[in-house]
């Protein structure tokens, strides 16, 4: 079995601990040309297999489906928000981004996934962690085991900070974060468009055009302005411009001049808006509202059932804009430093 096949099949029951151990030893003894990070990943898999914990660099489609089923089981019992970023990770799994870490930790019990924790730093200096445990398996220390293994991984890259995500209403999640001396730093609202809101139509002065690969540097520059992220080296990869119809980037133009950007993602007939911003000089003139309304029309033309976006709770101007355009708060996600 090749490394690639093994990497994609590690959580299946027919791959035994002995198989992985023998393969890992053969890799080391024969000095097969795999990088140190891959060797470390497989060493960790070998070490924790007996404890039903598997670590992977990234999820494949089958992993994704299994984690989604676990998510559905959790949400069926407790209506909390789980910001796992699974779709983001699947989109970016084949894109190289310098200093990126997207490690996945899966806890199996009798071939059933009962616990999950994911790390992602989105190519920046801050690592975000989020996860879940099946309701019937809580109180057994499963999440703590996943957390401690994940902690060993993030300590090796020495991130600026590590943020644990927790739904504002999750008492168990908050209790765990408190046990790790987590310190609250910020919150964000998840908002959903209210379909009952009356639609306002008028002539727009803004033109929203599809971004191309030639716009990558401009999108990178604007992201740095809006969200404080350092500009990335174009040669080492930045956020994708367009991946089929599930992720699309737009640039907003006023009389041919670029004044802002916005991204949409469509997954399972649900639309997501993010990365939205207007350059400082053009703010306060109603252009942001136009960009948002045009984007909403694009999603409505695709017959999207629900449209979502996230906004920091302290960003009052953006919050006021979204509410005036028909968005309503449906949940609050809190961020805690645990590093």
The predicted-structure confidence for 33-77, as pLDDT tens digits, reads as follows 445 555 455 555 544 444 588 998 888 899 999 999 999 999 888
pLDDT in tens, 222-264: 988 988 755 554 443 445 565 556 789 999 999 999 999 999 9
Question: pLDDT tens-digit profile of 68-107?
Answer: 999 999 988 887 888 888 877 776 655 544 445 668 999 9
Mean pLDDT over 284-310 rounds to: 92
| pTM, rounded to two decimals | 0.75
Pairing of strands 126-133, 161-167: parallel
């Amino acid at each position: 079995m090749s490394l690639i096949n093994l990497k994609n099949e590690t959580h299946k029951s027919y791959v035994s601990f002995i198989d992985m151990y023998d393969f890992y030893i053969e890799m080391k003894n024969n000095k097969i040309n795999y990088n140190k990070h891959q060797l470390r990943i497989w060493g960790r898999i070998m070490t924790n297999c007996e404890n039903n914990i598997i670590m992977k660099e990234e999820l494949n489609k089958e992993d994704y489906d299994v984690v989604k089923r676990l998510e559905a089981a959790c949400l069926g019992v407790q209506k909390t928000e789980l910001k796992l970023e699974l779709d983001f990770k699947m989109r970016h799994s084949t894109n190289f981004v310098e200093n990126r870490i997207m490690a996945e930790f899966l806890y199996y019990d009798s071939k059933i996934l009962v616990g999950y924790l994911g790390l992602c730093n989105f190519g920046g200096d801050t690592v975000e962690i989020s996860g879940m445990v099946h309701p019937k398996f809580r109180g057994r220390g499963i999440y703590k085991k996943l957390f401690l293994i994940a902690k060993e991984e993030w300590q090796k890259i020495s991130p600026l900070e590590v943020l644990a995500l927790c739904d504002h209403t999750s008492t168990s999640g908050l209790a765990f974060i408190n046990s790790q001396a987590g310190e609250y730093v910020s919150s964000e609202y998840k908002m959903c468009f209210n379909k009952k809101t009356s639609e306002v139509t008028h002539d727009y002065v803004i033109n929203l055009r599809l971004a191309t690969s030639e716009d990558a540097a401009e999108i990178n520059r604007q992201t740095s302005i809006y969200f404080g992220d350092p500009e990335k080296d174009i040669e080492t990869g930045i956020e994708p411009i367009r991946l089929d119809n599930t992720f699309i980037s737009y640039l907003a133009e006023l009389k041919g001049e670029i004044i802002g950007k916005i991204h949409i993602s469509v997954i399972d007939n649900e639309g997501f808006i993010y990365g939205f911003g207007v350059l400082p000089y053009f703010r306060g003139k109603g252009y942001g509202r136009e960009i948002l309304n045009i984007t909403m029309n694009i999603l409505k033309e695709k017959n999207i059932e629900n449209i979502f976006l996230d906004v920091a709770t302290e960003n009052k101007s953006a919050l006021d804009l979204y509410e005036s355009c028909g968005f309503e708060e449906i949940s609050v996600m809190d961020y805690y430093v645990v590093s």
